[in-house]
Amino acid sequence: MRASRISGLVFLLAAAGLLAFFAALRLELIASRYNPLLPLDLTDPPGLMSEVKLWLIEGNRPACIAAFARANVVVTAMPHRTAKPGCGREGTVLVRTLSEADIGGEEMRCDVAMRLYLLERHIIQPLARRHLGAGVDRITHFGSYSCRTMRGSSWRMSEHSTANAFDISGFRTANGRMISLKKDWPTGGAPARFLRDVRRGACSLFNMVLSPDYNADHADHFHVDQGLFRGCH
């Protein structure tokens, strides 16, 4: 009897809490980025709620393209193509410009493109302004799709085989300064600090991040991917 009264009270409190939460959402007392009822907004700083929303639309290219459209970013859906076993492009988009930085037109899985956009807009740009005194207008890279095994493995296919990865080799600031992983990672100056902070930010968005610290194969780029394995190296 006593136990059922307690569970009744818990139920009532939970119901009242939920009601208060949704009333607060309706009255817009809670910022849109914490509102689970609103679709993903790529212009909001990434956090726990955006991670849930990214997860909910993972593999859903129309929802991904719609999220880009809400952020006024044009991405183009690409046709589905398969290559030899283990390789192919499905659910990819062509991306030219992120919030400010140009990437020169690269095709990748839309889920990877959204995380790259969040990385560039909310992490790379503020870090570049802080460490380098100017935003980034170009991200140089080694691309996304490549039908091959992982570096150092003769059999395990790379996430690049399905355009589920992206390799960043450097940055150009709005005032024309070139920052490269190969040249600037080993130095101790502001560019090196910028690059290490970018790695930390990338690790909060991508399942796997490999930097020059990982091995010699990555001495000249950041590898980021959305495969099954997690790591920040």
Find the part of the chain contacting Zn ion (CB under 5 A) among 58-66, 131-139, 167-175, 183-191: 167-175
The piece of 75-83, 84-92, 132-140, 158-166 that touches Zn ion (CB under 5 A) is 158-166
Residues 6+ apart with CB under 8 A from 18: none
Q: Residue 224: enclosing H or E segment and its boundaries?
A: strand 222-225
Q: How far is the CB of 167 from Zn ion (least distance, A)?
A: 4
111 interacts with Zn ion by CB under 5 A: no
Q: Where are the alpha helices (H) located in the chain, listed in sequence order?
A: 2-26, 48-56, 61-70, 110-119, 125-132, 181-184, 190-203
Residue (167 or 184) nearer to Zn ion, CB: 167
- Does position 223 interact with Zn ion (CB under 5 A)? The reply is yes
Question: Alpha carbon of 149 to those of 8, 34, 86, 170, 214: distances in Å?
Answer: 57, 40, 9, 24, 17
The answer to whether the Cα torsion of 9, 15, 19, 24 is positive or negative is positive
- Would you count residue 167 as binding Zn ion (CB under 5 A)? yes
Interacting stretch for Zn ion, rule CB under 5 A, among 69-77, 104-112, 165-173, 181-189? 165-173
- Minimum separation from the CB atom of position 147 to Zn ion (A): 13
Minimum CB separation from Zn ion for residue 103, in Å? Answer: 15
Pick the stretch among 37-45, 106-114, 115-123, 162-170 that binds Zn ion (CB under 5 A).
162-170
Q: Does 131 bind Zn ion (CB under 5 A)?
A: no
State the residue number with the nearest CB to Zn ion: 223
For Zn ion, the closer CB: 110 or 168? 168
Of 174, 166, 171, 173, nearest in space to 202 by CA = 166
Torsions phi, psi for 68 (to 5 deg) = -65, -40
Contact 111, 206 (CB under 8 A): no
In the complex, minimum distance from the CB of residue 133 to Zn ion, in angstroms, rounded to a whole number? 29
Instruction: Please tell me what DSSP assigns to residue 46.
Output: P
Which two structure tokens, joined as six digits, stand for 208?
């796997």
Show the tokens assigned to 31: 């910022």
Q: Is 141 in the site for Zn ion (CB under 5 A)?
A: no
Site residues, Zn ion (CB under 5 A) = 165, 167, 223
